[in-house]
Every structure is written in structure tokens, then in C-alpha cells.
Amino acid sequence: MALSACLGRLTQSGSVSLCVRSLRAIGQYDKIVGFENNLENIQTTVSQQRCYHVIKKTFKPSVPYSQICGRPAPESLPYFQVLKNADKPDTFPKYCVRIPSGVQLKVNEPERVIELEGKAGSLTFDMKRIDPEGLVGFLAEKAENSEFCSSLTLTSPIQEKLTKYIEDLQKAIRGVSQGYIVGLTVKGVGYRMEPVDEIPVKYQSWHKSVYYDRSKIEKPPAAYPYKKPSNAVLLKVGFSDPAVFMLPPTIKAFFLKPTMVYLYGLNIDELRKTAMEIRALRKPNVFTGNGIALMDETVRIKARANKK
């Protein structure tokens, strides 16, 4: 009775292997009639009592998938969202974006890409980046006797996604029409920003956007306002060697003063990101205000503690 009770308790708790080890330890394993034959039935009963199967622990492969198979790993499945008004398409919010006369818009439906071209330049608007699930529908209306669109009607069951989509599209339209400008200023004794006409060959394929000029070659001072746009900004902000920030190909720098520079580009998000990366090289000091700051930034100066 004691052995059967022990066996019943252990099997109910799911410890079949523990039960077998216990019986073998006390030498009573062979005396249990039919236990070895019913071991599979006991395991099935235990799994039914648990209502789930124990999953073995998996480990990540040491060799990447791309090296084993010779092709890139498959993309993950999209994240499906629950739609509240999926059975009522008439209630979906809609918005019509009017295309200005100076902007040419063309929709590439198979690749879900919008191509924009204006007076300031051309820009590509990737719909898959903002809407990877494909929940935003669009209808492009072409102008008469033209391949370009005059308006774009958007609709989506999710208001937040539609609002984000419209804001980014309007930013792109304004970017190709007139572009964006972000200003930077520098404050401090000896702090200044200078244009860089040519980037050394060894740094043109540099994996970082910043390098330090250790050539120690004195260059003649530039005349301000500098007439030509620059692809890089030389920063003398207290480092032992001047830092050179290489701008992306779509952004240009215009120098009005040694302490003032304007960045010009078509993509406002990329422009702000670049400006913040330059600012991060020498943030404004909270006690003196010395450093690099945005043109419209208000630097709050803290009062130093008085020594008693």
C-alpha cells in the first residue's frame, strides 16, 4: 500500500522519472507488476493532467543561417492587428492630399513607393517603412494628359497610422518644394566652425561620420559668409585635434559666421538627426552655456553653489 500510494502521488505530480529512480533505489522496481509496460500510459496521463507538453530548451545556432544555407534568413511574419470596424468600411477615416502644381508625384504600386520631384530636388517616400502591414489604402488620381498624380486619397481603419502617414507625406511634399533648414550655433572662447572643401580619401569610406584632423596643417581663414556649400563641418570645440563631421550626401552646410552654420536638406527627420549628432559632440554646459546648440534652443544656465 505504501509503494502504491507513493507511486500515485509521484505520478500525479508528473515526476515519472523521479518515481522510477526512487523505486530502483529501494530495490522494489521489479516487484511492481506491469509498471514498466504501463510507463507510456503513465506519461500520457501526466501530460493530460498538466494540459500541456514540456518543450525542450532550444539554443541559438552558433553558425548564422545565411552561412549554412547560402541565402539570407527569412523575414518575420507581419504583426496582425485587431480591427474594430473591419466589417464597416464606410466608417474608415479618409483624407485627400492635394499635390501642388510645382510637385510631380508618381506612385509605384508593386513596390509601394511614392516618387516625388520638385524645385528643390527629388525624394522617395517608402510606404513599407511606415505601414509594413499594408493597412493604409490609397487611390491616386492622375491629372489630365499626364502620368503624374494631382491628388492622393488615403484611408485606414487605424486613425493613428493614417495620421502618421499623412504627416510624413506632407513633410516630403514640402521638402521637394522648398527644403528645410536647421541652424547651429557655437559659444565659447576659441570655439568655431569652419567649412571643409575636400575630405581625405582614407576617410571617404570611413564607417563613422566623425574623424579627427591630426595633419597640423595651417589653412588660411575662410571669408564669411562662405559662398560655397560644404559637405563636412570642422569643429574646434575644445578637443586636442579638430573634429570633422562628414554630412550625408543629401545634406549641405552653409556658413554665415564662424559661430553659425545652417544645414539644408529635403528630409526633415534626417536633417534633425544630423544636427543632434553634431550637437552631441559638445553639448552646452549647464553652468557656462559653452558648446554647440540649436538655433532655436534655449539653454538654461544653472547657478553655481555658493561656498560657505
Residues 33-80 have pLDDT tens digits of 444 455 555 555 545 544 545 455 555 667 776 777 777 777 766 666
Confirm whether 89-178 and 181-294 share one CATH topology.
yes
Three-state secondary structure string covering the chain: CHHHHHHHHHHHCCCHHHHHHHHHHHCCCCCCCCCCCCHHHHHHHHHHHHCCCCCCCCCCCCCCHHHHHCCCCCCCCCCCCCCCCCCCHHHCCEEEEECCCCCEEEEECCCCEEEEECCCCEEEEEHHHHCCCCCCEEEEEECCCCCCEEEEEEECCCHHHHHHHHHHHHHHHHHHHCCEEEEEEEECCCCEEEECCCCCHHHHCCCCCEEECCCCCCCCCCCCCCCCCECEEEEECCCCCCEEEECCCCCEEEEEECCEEEEEECCHHHHHHHHHHHHHHCCCCCCCCCEEEECCCCCCCCCCCCCC
181-294 CATH fold: Outer Surface Protein A; domain 3 (3.90.930)
Asked whether the whole model's pTM tops 0.85, one would answer no
| Res 13 pLDDT > 60 | no
Domain spans, the chain: 2-49, 89-178, 181-294
CATH number, span 89-178:
3.90.930.12
- Residue 189's pLDDT band, with cuts at 50, 70 and 90, is very high
